[in-house]
Structure 1
Amino acid sequence: MKKSTIVSVSLSFLISAGTLFADDKGHEIAKKYYDLKDPKTTSSKATMTITDKNGSQKSRTLQMYGKKDDLGTWSFIEFESPADVKGTKLLTIPKKPNENEQRIYLPALKKARLIASSGKGGKFVNTDFFYYDLESHEFEDYTYTYVKDDKLVDHQCSVVQMSPKSTDTPYLMSEAWISKEDNFVYQMKLYDRKTSEHIKTMNVLETSITDGCIIPVRILMTNHKDNSKTELSLSDLKVNSGVDDKVFSIQNLETR
């Protein structure tokens, strides 16, 4: 889940939110999230822990890099272990407003391939994250409708329905739990485009505030269709410390 994610202009808020129509209220609540400060660069180590329907677990370690510029948000992911996924890399490149290009490098094939738009609803290296979940999405990509107020663990939240304007997405819609305290999204329910079923839930379990940016450092993606889940945990997080532009190149993607 990216805002312009991990991920963005000012709003004039009405004095009384109760006077807003549902879509206006949802629009303004969501805008507060997208207006949060984004880091210019990030880098971290990460662990993905995958739990299948039988309770069996397997872990993967990886390196993650991010950069934001006028085009959008760039990201580069490389798996370090175990051996069967070591060297697998994913590069996300912002091409133009509301459009991203994703390329994956598979060591067995010794070359990178482009992820087609129709393939972005596929599992990322057999985790519970889709390729779509790992790319940037802008405020203008959705329409917003306020649903209700709700409490999520320690957070008093506004629940906002987000409907993608494009039909070329794996999700028909999502519901975001946005904290009234810090305007960050702590839960998202994701609905399948073909069946309209609630297929996945994303929960932010832990955040870090660095250089004024709220960074999710533990994310749990629960797959209700497959009865599996994947937890992504970050460590050695560096924010606004700089990342070489060469990291986000196709040449680096294809370098063994």
Structure 2
Amino acid sequence: MKKVFFAFTSILMGAGLFAQSLTGYEIMKKADEIPEPVTASSTATLTIHSKKGSDRKREVIMKSKDYGDVKKEVIVFVTPKDVSGTGYLMFEYEEDANGNKKDSDNWLYMPAMKKTRRIASSGSESDGSFMGTDFTYRDMGERSLNDYEYNLLGEESVEGTECYKVECIAKDKSEKDPRYISYIAKSDFILRKCELFDRQNQLHRLLTCTDFTTIKGFTTAQRMKMENVQSGTWSLFETSNIVYDGGDIDDSMLTVAALEKGRIR
């Protein structure tokens, strides 16, 4: 599954691809290989809905740059004041010719503690809540195709879009949600919905991607909502001010030092 990092930057380009008699793996591989922009920047409003029915709003900025062998991405919280300056930096590495992938490097900076902490890309820490949302740290990164087994369950319409329904089963059974079902549009191989199941094989979370727009040929979901169907909570990213390949992003901005000095704006 392409990362949630946004539109958030789950940034996928509709390439007008069509296929017949594809396997589950082939469908997910096509989705994974859709081109992405070299640079991307955007802002987003994050709404966190509690089980008591109250909402908290967060404003964030996001930047990313693809260097070929590594993609660097950063998320920085701007408001409210109690989380302003909090940032998350990710280095996602490309798979080699054999499909092997180096673990990502991830850092979380908390200005209140004036401290940067490394976040493991696998294990229990990666399954923890990202900044109090229903997204996990694992959702922020890309999932390697080789880490899962795939079954094509059939086809189903999602909000009027015909989709392949692909079951993805983690080889590592210790994952918090070791099985998920991806709904991949037949027309462009872009993710429309994802159902994530817990270790008891009960539906745990539901991701929906809506409000698609196309910018410079890249089709992007502007709304990404993750619902915890067991707790009744949900988190919604609404992305705006999206700029693709619109000028170089300074390499120095995508560093731990930039996070700690509050330079990312």
1:122 to 2:120 alignment: no
1:232 to 2:237 alignment: yes
Q: Which residue of 2 aligns with 1:44?
A: 42
- 1:49-88 matches, within 5 Å, as 49-88=47-86
Q: Which runs of 4+ in 1 moved over 4 A?
A: none
TM-score normalized with structure 1 length: 0.87
Query: C-alpha root-mean-square deviation of aligned residues, in Å?
Result: 2.2
- Closer, same or farther in 2 for the Cα pair 1:95/1:151, shift >3 Å? closer
Following superposition, the deviation at residue 32 of structure 1 comes to 2.1
Following superposition, the deviation at residue 154 of structure 1 comes to 1.4
User: Does the CA-based 8 Å contact 2:2-2:32 persist in structure 1?
Assistant: no
Q: d(CA) in 2 for partners of 1:31 and 1:94?
A: 17
Instruction: Work out which of the residue numbers 203, 210, 217 in structure 2 matches 1:212.
Output: 217
Q: d(CA) in 2 for partners of 1:211 and 1:123?
A: 33
Which whole-Å deviations, capped at 9, do the CAs of 1:11-38 have from their partners, x for residues lacking one?
Answer: xx9x851xxxxxx611122222122221
Following superposition, the deviation at residue 240 of structure 1 comes to 1.1
Could you tell me which amino acid in structure 1 is paired with residue 238 of structure 2? S
Q: d(CA) in 2 for partners of 1:182 and 1:16?
A: 13
Q: d(CA) in 2 for partners of 1:76 and 1:51?
A: 24
Instruction: Work out which of the residue numbers 218, 224, 228 in structure 2 matches 1:223.
Output: 228
Following superposition, the deviation at residue 167 of structure 1 comes to 4.4
Q: d(CA) in 2 for partners of 1:72 and 1:124?
A: 22
Instruction: Work out which of the residue numbers 148, 152, 163 in structure 2 matches 1:142.
Output: 148
Among all aligned residue pairs of Structure 1 and Structure 2, give the percentage whose two residues are the same amino acid: 28
User: Does the CA-based 8 Å contact 1:98-1:138 persist in structure 2?
Assistant: no
Q: Which residue of 1 aligns with 2:166?
A: 160
1:103 to 2:107 alignment: yes
1:176 to 2:198 alignment: no
Q: d(CA) in 1 for partners of 2:149 and 2:75?
A: 30
- Three-state SS of the structure 2 residue aligned to 1:206 is strand
User: Does the CA-based 8 Å contact 2:76-2:85 persist in structure 1?
Assistant: yes
Q: Which residue of 2 aligns with 1:2?
A: 2
Could you tell me which amino acid in structure 2 is paired with residue 70 of structure 1? G
TM-score normalized with structure 2 length: 0.84
